[in-house]
Structures are given as structure tokens and as C-alpha cells.
Structure 1
Amino acid sequence: MDVVKKISIDEVIDKSDQIGLIDVRSPGEFKAFHIPGAINVPLFSNDERARIGTLYKQKGPHIAKDEGLKIVSPKLPHMFETIRKHAKAYDQTVIYCWRGGMRSLSVASIMNLMGCYTLQLDGGIRSFRKRIVGDLEAFAQEEKPYVVVEGLTGSRKTDILLSLKEKGYPVLDLEGMAGHRGSIFGSVGLEPNSQKGFECMLWLRLRELSDASYYMIEAESKRIGRVVLPEFIINGKENGTRFHIHYPFQKRVQAIYEAYEPTRNEGAVYEAFIKLRKHLNPAFAEEVEDAYQQKDYYKIISLFLEHYYDPKYSHKFKDYKSDAISLTVSSVVEGVARLEEELGKMVMVPKE
């Protein structure tokens, strides 16, 4: 059997549009973090991987390998056909696992033996992770100014920023990357991202914005769900030019209702309330509980804004050393227009 040739992560990134990527790790590993554009053709399911790992620890490598062979053998024809079809669309096909070890080597060897030439990623996805960490450290050294959009909960900040992103402005959609809106209710209806997954998406976006002279972000806490923001973004937020969006209270209530869809995500909303309840005033918590029993979600949102989130965030805004530029708007379209007007005054316009 021919020796499987290896390819570096730098070469894979440089030729990404010409390379088909095959991730042979378990679905759980793939979901937590994978190279963008890769497809998952797993050797083991999540349960099978856990069983093999337990055998390795308790009975040793030989027994674990024997069991692994029994599990994988029936899957090989389907795996081969899946990879072969995928490979037709690319100049090269690269197989990877976690460290560039047995899993990817075994699959690449079989593919090559069957006449479908593949390469093995040197160092596995761990080499990609090292590249991301190194590049983020380099991005952290850049001295680009930040434009920060803040406002009370429901002020349509995210929608305004996403509209600006579509227009070509250098927006970092931190909540989108995190798969979380930031509060204890922030995961409702969303799929929270892992730290590695978030940093991969951030890395991709920062590479896209390499020529941008500044970044635009929403004012976020250091933690968004499971994700911790890099220190350079926190510093950018604290020292950036701030715009405070003022949005009508009832429209904020409506915006939150539409974003969280409480009738569709009733269980998740109530579960988040239970987690938060111990931090609430007992009388307030009881009033919210009564509204939950009546399924009066507009009242629940109004109560949380008036008695919890608005006081909480109004206090946080006072921690900044400088004043924000206030923009009173009544729609996303107006918010976008007002911000574009202000950015124009600062000569911060999107590149053509």
C-alpha cells in the first residue's frame, strides 16, 4: 500500500476552494468544531466512540482496535461511496481527524487503495485550531477603532447591525457567532455554539475584514452564553465610539416577542425563568409566575423589561468613561439610516 501523503493546514487554507474536506470524527466532535466546508463521514457514532475509548482505557489498545474494526468494517462501502462522490467536485480531497492519527490515516489508506486518491491533514484539526489561536493573537495586536451599538433589551440593535452588514459595513455579529443572545433567555430557539466554534467564525470574519479600517459590534458582556469574548474585543467595546439606540417601549416588547417566539418555545422560556427566579424579588417573581399561568407573554416581557432588564442595563451604561451618541428611532430602517448618517460624519463608510 502506498504511503499516504500529508498536507499542511496552511496549504489547505490557501487552496480552500480547490480542496474537499472529509472529517471522520464522531458527529459530536464535528458539531462542536470543524473546519468550514468539511463534511462529516464518521468512523464511529458518538456512543461507539465512547465505547472504544472506555475499552482502550480498561482493556488496552489491542482489544479496542479489534472492536473498532468490527464496528467500522460494515460501514466502509458506504463511506467510500460518500467520499468518492464528494471528491469529484474538487482538485484534491483531504481526510482529517483530531490529531492526524489513526482514524484519518486508516480512511485515507483505504480510499487510496480503492483508487480514490486522498491526502491526510498533517496534525489533524488540532493544527487548524493552532492556526486560529495564532491568527487571533495577531488580530489582537491591530489598533483598529470600534463602533459600538448599545441600547436596552429589544431595541433592535442586532437587526440594525445585520442590515448594515448587508450594506457592506464591517460588522462583527458576535451573537450570531455565539448562537446566543446574551441573557439567561438568550439560547431560546437557538443552537449555542462552542468556544472553538465561535472563535472559528470570528477568525473567518476577521479575515474577510482584513482591509476594514474599523469594526462595528453590539455592546455585549464578556460572556455570551457558553462563549467568552476575546479580551481585544472587550477592550474595543470599552474604548469605542458608542451609539445608544432609544426605541419605543411597546415596540421593544413586540420585537422580543417575535424574536423569542414564546408560544413556540414555551418550555425553554419557562426553564430560563426558573433559573433566574432565585435572583428576583419574590413579589415580582410571583407576578411573573401568574402571568405564565395565564400565558400572557406580552405582560411577562413588559414586566421583565420594566423591573429587571431596564434597571440592570441602565446601571451598566453608567460604567463607561465617555458618553454615548443618542439616536432615537422607531424602526430598523430609521436606525440604519441614522447610523449611516453618523458614520458618514466620521468618514466611516463601507468599502466598495
Structure 2
Amino acid sequence: MTMVQVVSVESVQFSDYHVIDVRSPGEFNEFHVIGAQNIPIFNNDERAKVGTTYKQVGKDEAKMQGLSIVSPKLVNMVHELKQLQLRESKPFLIYCARGGMRSNSFATVMSLMGFECAQLNGGIRSYRQLIVSTLASFAKNSTKFVILEGLTGSRKTDLLEILEEDGYPVINLERMAGHRGSIFGEIGNQGRSQKSFDQSLYLRLQEIGSTDYYMIESESKRIGKVIVPEWILQGKEEGTRIYLHYPLNKRVESICNTYKPLHYHHQISEALMHLRKRLAPELYEEVTHALENRNYHTVVRLLLEFYYDPKYEYTANQYERDALEVHLSDLDTGLSNIKDILTRL
């Protein structure tokens, strides 16, 4: 009888394996190990049917139903594993939700077909628990924060990305959330679940390792569907602030380049409707008229001047501590000034 090796999440190095997630596509899309391949035993509807049978009829009937669903798929599954093996020769690590029947059955059958397989003990749930406990330990640290602030369109994200590439301890919260943090924030992005966000944060903190500070963009508690951990928000409140000054015309241009309004006109129009109750009627009418005429620069300028800028300035004025100020004439100069400040700090 083939016995499948069971490994713990604490001992495993995912990069040593072809990681195979056998859960349904819906489960996979919500949260999965980064780099994992989804080879689902059941699709979303099949999973629901088997689950219903299990609850309403019984375990044995559900197992028979599952077997009838999976059997025709086995040849294709073997083929998928062979293709992965041809690309890179290494063993397979199989996981499901809790390290139960789905992953064990798949790993056993594939082992019988000659593949070297291991099963992740506790499934994706054990990995999630590892992430949560590790993030909780980071919350106890006293690492300080440097916060990049500035009005909407001030190139904060661009600067953070360059600083990260240059080796600075940047935590890019918006990228992790798949959202830019406003009504329009998911346009051109794929919003991510809390579990996926936490995984990205966990991996980035592991990558950074020991550091004197973390650098983030000033964010609110919620970014799209994601809640920022309280310890990061606390670090933001207590950290060193760097405030970017960037001319309005350049901010308008930057936002248009980022959001690509010609390509996402319909999504921008829909998002604007969510702002209707927050804008003065005359302003909303002027903005929608400019949008209808594809005058995107006017749309952006009006929203900045009469909505986003006053809102941002009000929040910034709530801080008791003054910010270090950087005036951006261009990105390179601003980057150099920020690096000088970080060196002095």
C-alpha cells in the first residue's frame, strides 16, 4: 500500500515543490499559497453538490458521488502533473482545505502513478494559522515607521516602488490589497481578500527581516476589502511623516496616466456615481458633464480641487507632529531628497 508523506507547514519550503491546490476554483481564488497550481478535484458547483449530499444523506453517499465526479478527470490530472514535471523536476506538495480527504486521495492516486507526492498537514488552514500567529508576533515589535504622505496624485506609490527596488524596507499596502484606496481604487486592479493580503504582508515582512523602520504610504484603516492591521495603523500615527508637495497640473497628469480613463471609462463612470451624495450638486453635474465629453483632465482636476484635496488636508491637519516636507519638481529629485532624509533618520 502506498503511504503518502505528510509534512508540516513549519518544516516545509514551498519552493522545493510543485505546490498543488486541489480545492475548488472559488476557494483557490479567495486565498492560496503564492505560486500554487490549482488542479481542482471538484469545480464550484460539484463541491456544493457533494457537500449537500454529505449533510442531507450521509458520508458514504457523498464519497460515492465524489468518486463518480473525479474518476473521469484523473487522466487529465496525471497529464497536468507530467507537464509540470517536464518544466522542472521536483516533488509535488498537495493541499486542500484542512489536509483531509481531497488532498490525501489525490496524493495517493498520483503516488500510485509514479509521482513523488507529499501532503500538507492541516491543509491551507494550517498555513493561514501560521500567517496569523507570525503577524501577531510582529505586532509586538517596536519597529518604527516612516510614512510617505501627500495629496492624491503626488507619486507616492511610484516613489515607494523605486525605494523598494533599491532595497529600502517598504511595505506597499495598496499593492498587497490590489486596491488604490479610494472609490476609484479597484479600477485596473484585482481587489484581494483579507487572507491574501495577510499572506503578502507576512511574506514581505519575512523578506525585509531585521530593520530599524518600515516605510509605508499613509493609508486609512480600510483599503478596498482589506483591513490594515492595527499595529501598522498605530505605527502610522506615531511614525516620522514625509509630506510630498507636487504641482496640481502634474498630479492631474499622473492620475490620468495611472487610471487610463480611455480604457476604463465605464468603470470610472460607475465609480463616480458612488460619490454623488458626497459632492455638491453643481460640482457633480460639472464633473459628469466633463466625463461625458471625455475631458478626463477636467474631471480629475475638479475632483482633486473640490473633494480629495480638502479631505486629505483635513486628515493631515489632525496630526500633532509636523511633517518633513519634500517639494517634487521631478521624480528623481524627490527620490534623492527622500533618501537624504532616510539617511539622516
Q: Is the 8 A contact 1:219 1:237 kept in 2?
A: yes
* Aligned twin of 2:8: 8
Distance 2:85 2:7 in 1: 16
Which of 15, 19, 43 matches 2:17?
19
Task: State the shift of 1:5 in Å.
Answer: 2.3
Distance 1:296-1:190 versus aligned 2 partners, 3 A rule: same
Q: Is the contact between residue 7 and residue 119 of structure 1 (CA under 8 Å) also seen in structure 2?
A: yes
The answer (yes or no) to whether the contact 1:18–1:90 under 8 Å persists in 2 is no
Question: Residues 1-352 of structure 1 correspond to what in structure 2 (within 5 A)?
Answer: 1-12=1-12, 15-87=13-85, 89-346=88-345
Please tell me the residue identity of whatever aligns with 1:172: I
Q: Structure 2: how far apart are the matches of 1:244 and 1:322?
A: 12
Partners of 1:155 and 1:288 lie apart in 2 by 21
Report the secondary structure of 1:110's partner residue. Answer: helix
- Which portions of structure 1, spanning 4 or more consecutive aligned residues, are displaced by more than 6 angstroms? none
Q: Distance in 2 between matches of 1:46 and 1:266?
A: 32
Asked if structure 2 preserves the Cα contact closer than 8 Å seen for 1:24 and 1:95, the reply is yes
SS of residue paired to 2:343? helix
* Cα deviation, residue 91, structure 1: 4.2
Which residue does the alignment assign to 1:349?
none
| Residues 290 and 296 in structure 2, CA contact (< 8 A), matched pair in contact too | yes
Cα distance per residue 1:72-126 (max 9 Å; x no partner): 1111011112224434635432110000011101101101122213111100010
Q: Tell me, which stretches of 5 or more residues in structure 2 are unaligned? A: none
The CA distance in 1 between the partners of 2:281 and 2:104, in whole Å, is 59
**Contact 1:99/1:125 (<8 A) preserved:** yes
Distance 2:10 2:92 in 1: 15
Tell me if structure 1 keeps the 8 A contact 2:92–2:115.
no
Q: Which amino acid aligns with 1:11?
A: S
| Alpha-carbon distance between aligned partners in 1 of 2:133 and 2:91, rounded to the nearest angstrom | 26
Query: Distance in 1 between the 2:83 and 2:227 partners?
Result: 39
Of 292-301 and 241-250, more deviation after overlay is shown by 292-301
Deviations 1:4-60 (A, max 9, x none): 221100111xx3332221111112211211112211111122232233333333443
What is the percentage of aligned positions where both structures have the same residue?
49
Structure 1, unaligned stretches of length 5 or more? 347-352
SS at match of 1:216: strand
**Could you tell me how far apart the structure 1 residues matched to 2:270 and 2:58 are?**
43
Q: Distance in 2 between matches of 1:91 and 1:296?
A: 54
> Is the 1:22–1:83 contact (alpha carbons within 8 Å) kept by the matching residues of 2?
no
Q: 2: distance between equivalents of 1:233 and 1:19?
A: 33
In structure 2, relative to structure 1, the CA distance for the partners of 1:122 and 1:90 (3 Å cut) is farther
Aligned length: 344
